[in-house]
Structure 1
Amino acid sequence: MNPIRNRILLQLKDLSEDGDNSISTLGLDALAEYLEEKKIDITSKLPPFLEIDLNISDNKNQILRDLTSYERTEQVLNVSQMFSDETTTNYGLINQLVVKFKHEATEEDLKRLKEQFHIVDIITVLGQVNTYILTLDKVSELDALDLSNILFETGRYIYAQPNFFTAIQTTAFTPNDPYYNSSWHLPKIEAPEAWCWASGDTINIGIVDIAVQIDHIDLSTLPGYDPTGMPIGTDRHGTVCAGAAAAIGNNGILVTGAAYKSKIIPIRIGYNPSSDPNNTTFYSIDSWKYGAMAYAVYNAPVHVLSCSFGLGNPSALVQSGFQLAYSNGGRSGKGIPIFAATGNDYASSINFPASSPYTMAVGATGDNDNRSVFSNYGAGIGIVAPGDGIFTTAYSDTFTISSGTSLATPIVAGVAAMILQCQPNYSPYHVYQILGTTTDKVGGVIYGNYGTTYPFGTWNNEMGYGRLNAYKAIQKALPFEISGSEIVCSNGTFEMQNLPSGSQITWDVTQQLNIVGANTSNPVNVQFASVGWATVTATINNSCGSPFERKLSVPVGPAPVPWDMNVNGPYNLAIFSKGLFTFPTTYPGDYYTEYIFLVNGQETGIDFQIDFFSFGEVEIMFYDIGTFAVSVRIQTPCGNVFSQPFYVTVN
């Protein structure tokens, strides 16, 4: 943490408790001058945090003198130097810290903390064992960082960290022509085809941001989380993101979101400190960020989370919040898929929470399917999606064109909502897997295999697994599978389970089978044509006109043993000696019941003895001289088949 010269953080008491928001009546004239310069509207609500940039003040010396006196007033709870880190995120201290005991804390432990370190309040952290938020009294000579270090060095805590204030950069808010009337990104990801089967109905998307206009005419919202106590005012970034995810479709109003039947749950983690709607910085503290995740887990029916911001280096508390949501949230504890923007810094590294192991990191592309120049990339990127010139909702019941990974992220979150509509029991990992394995490999880059590091197929450090394809994802996620005969010896039946009402089905089979009767019936009857493996294909269509296929491979008849499957063993043996003979246990279909080794076509005889050594291997002793044929009989449900003989000479 590097101190930022001439930048100070003030933490203020909630003056509305006293029924007065007027700061001038408190004798803080220099501060009132600063607020006027920053265009902060204090007539409705005084912000709990103020970042003072002394370089922009015409009365710098006066403010410096006043800051010292402010800390002694009842209205100013804390004054802190501002800091930065290598992520360029700005930090400050408030009058709180977060501790996690290694062992369960007793009432005596907590009482001792209060008395020894001037702690005025201790609050348990929901969803975290042995974890507490401690509030310092103003009389304490220690700040939150000093006390965190002291407590951690006792060895009794897993961590002790300040409840950091952060000035967070949103990943985009770049309004363009508000009358642009072409949502190019929706056909690009084949959303209209996907909507034939899913549109996010019954799935709620949590927009983690500064605020969402909850009564917007083109958004359907549910009650949300707001720890700030501040009015929405000019906090508009969340509204832009919400529209990209789930602006109401087919209602004749404004725009269409990716999952246009999903509902939005606003989850606020900060506020815009100025009256400038294009301001890209918002203020937050760690406990608000954690509280957002805990709210999604314990207090609201959140099924998908979208995070369009970077949080710098996360504290342990913030990290644990994302883990909590991923592991314990949504749909009876199955977990919440979390999507996070890589950032718009033209950088070869991605922001947190995109870099978290619990999120899928989302980069941005343009209409040419290349990575947007501003879009961060590198290790950990999961997927890319349209993020240039996205037609979406805006504050005050309007719409706008906006660009950034902020827009790409909720678009992916919307498709995730559509996947969960099809498969409500999917874990976050399964949702990530569907998205990663159904992308379009675009961008003019080379995708490679990286094993378990990137398990969902080929990957590239600029494009992740590739560009989002909603239709392919929904095709893979649709809960319709073929059931029927495990093997067809003479006749069989296949059926598409849970065929959607109003859908039509067409069956097709490869040359090993023939369809008996109509190929549009469900179930369909088939009969044997030739031995081998058959592929049964069902094509399902509806009035929307976007079909999908399901395939099933089945063995047909007792197929002959391939020529490359042979008995192996010694060609020559001495009489009364044993030879080891092996046979590969990979008969096509693996639907055998047993492998039986034979000598001259017999299981037993007076001139040999078969001892089973292990599966697919035997030891055979010969009691007579001559040439013997060793073979294998494979017993299948359709009858027995035989391997080619292997000849051994006994002398």
Structure 2
Amino acid sequence: MKNIFSFILTYLVIFSLYGQHYYYYNGEKQPLELMESKKYVLVDKNIDQKGFSELLQIKSDQIDEFQSSYLTQYLQSRPNINREIHWAVISDPRKPNLLKQLTNYYVGPYFKAESGKEVGLTHLLYVKLNSQEDIEVLDSIARVHHVEILGNDRFMPLWYLLACSGKSDRNALEIANYFFETGLFKSVQPDFLEDNIFACVNDLQFNTQWSLLNTGQNGGTAGADINICPAWEITTGCEDIIVAILDQGLQPHEDLNNILPLSFNTEAGIPPYGNHGMRVGGIIGAETNNSYGIAGVSPDSPIMDIANSLMGVPGSRIARADGINWAWQNEASIINNSWGSSVQYEVIDDAIENAVINGRNGLGSIIVFATGNDFDNSIAYPSTNPNVIAVGATNRNDQRASFSNYGTGIDVVAPGVDIRTTTLDDGYATVSGTSFAAPHVSGIAAMILSVNPGLTQQEVRNIIESTADKVGGYTYTLSAGQNPNLTWNSEMGYGRVNALAAVQAALPTISGPDYLCSTNTFTLQNVPVGSTVSWSVSPTHLFSGSTSGNGANASLSPASWGTSGQATVTFSIEGDCGTVDSSTKFWVGRAISYIEGPYEMAVNTVENYFATGNPYMGITDYQWSLFPSGYHWIGNQGTNAITLSFSATGLYSLELDVVNPCGARGSEIGIYVYNPWEHFTLYPNPTSDILHISMDLETRGRDVDLDFEVSLFDGQGRELIPAKQAHQEASLDLSRIPKGFYYVHIRYRDALLRRQIRVER
């Protein structure tokens, strides 16, 4: 028989995993950086801020926050749940070990998230079940770790709210990660305190730019924006990607400092001819993080001024065609056109064709046009030209703007209602129109080319269209638009543009195995021409040989047959627009799975045991076994969660083998099966007045649960003395109980013990 006490080593290994700080979102690890000097504390409701500061021997002003708050009213709470929470935040870098004396308090650390923002770990966590039948599993595993189930959400009943306390064996982050890694739940996340004043840049008026970050302000729908903030983490544009604006002209502005000195005036007058061009320019290129004004979509992409009055003057259409031709001949990568014409002109069509064929040294310039503001079910020329990206407008709720022209030929939509932007004379204004939807798309096109300047104009267009979000509740139909492989709607085109999805789709892709069992190669596909590529992999201890190098191929080998873990290979592509990274995650070696469940259980009871593990490990099979055999049964064999019962006391070894594409790996724990009655003595029996119930001295000296519940029933099953809680010992007053036979019920751990007693008179 294998060593049944090897479970101790397994237990230590499990806990060693929690030296890494991360949480899970959509199944992916999100890294956290620990902050030693700041803590969240769950405070006793009977202590005030003064008393708390005296307990810590600090001044009250050293407590950052001391508050009470309430759980959501829509929590379908369990009985006797107190919805009021008392909590504090302590931050004192002079005393980083200040809270170690609070041994009976729950204390959660603060972290820095990837965004650089501080987040504090509360005592709460959220668990989403696969189905309501899983509540028994959640109950079982929560009890093991002394975590309380507060209730579930009325609107989303599969979501449960749980609470840690000073009695919990881990903090909420460690508990959440462990629960998720069992593979038994759909989602598990800890609750964090954070500053919810949403902004990813410090521009003073950014909170009014719902098109860039819609938090629901002014009656909007949260998320009904172009998703620019995470896209900026990848790129904010590039000085080599020029966006030409064919409009009424630009002038220097406090928030628009990237206007190229190279410009073209298509008419004889002196531009700017009006405010329209400045309003378009601010949306594309306003400077970010300068503590005032607004933010542009692609602020590091230079703006080229192609001035035209946009008035109905003789020769204005060929002048606009000249502007398009001049722009692409002078290295404009994108040409924004927030104007239309009620008459179609072949001279304009020819200029557009010249740009998409010959621009960017044959890769083609991207031409963007607004669909028009005529409340019409047909889009305006020149947005009807099949070589351009035709852009309609949406409002802050992802609905088509009432004025926005739509119908055959519309490609995508972008925010175009109540858009904050720049004006002449260092001013700002809020404007509406498809004219202000189009520059959002032009800015995204500039971002795409900033990470992959070798894309053709058709590839850029395909990326913008294929990554657009199908929003608004509209019906999108396959092959209804120009692209037969995409779904399209006559009001929304291929959908509302998504900057992050578009930029990510433009990054070169990585091919390679999902599971690295032996030496294999990861390759960066579609490397931009003229760029330099290097690569690295982390964590390095999982590999033998090189863990970094140059070139588009990374040959990797596991460190040993026993090596296991999740890894990330990152290719860094350095070009004229700087360096961008493309990464992919994969699993190295065999799966790691540990057994979770009680190390002790009562004979003839049922307990649940779980195997940790996540989908990214690629586990395909679970095989459980017990030694010695013949005194047990296993339910749900072959799954990651079993039920287990024993008919005889003793020491047992529960073993598990898990299989993934790289092979099998085993783990085990020891289980002590006991007879619960061995713990209790009832005396005197028979009795005439007081009956004593006591745990034996051996049990008291062991590190086991010393709490139990005791009650009294008659032979008909009627409860005579209600259940009462006891610790180590209890007594029942039977002086008023008539003579006869009765039954004492003791509920200890998960077992119900029933012992007959006799009352004499």
The structure showing larger relative contact order (alpha-carbon pairs under 8 Å, at least 6 residues apart) is 1
Please state which structure has a larger fraction of its residues in strand: 2
Structure 2 length-normalised TM: 0.42
TM-score (norm 1): 0.49
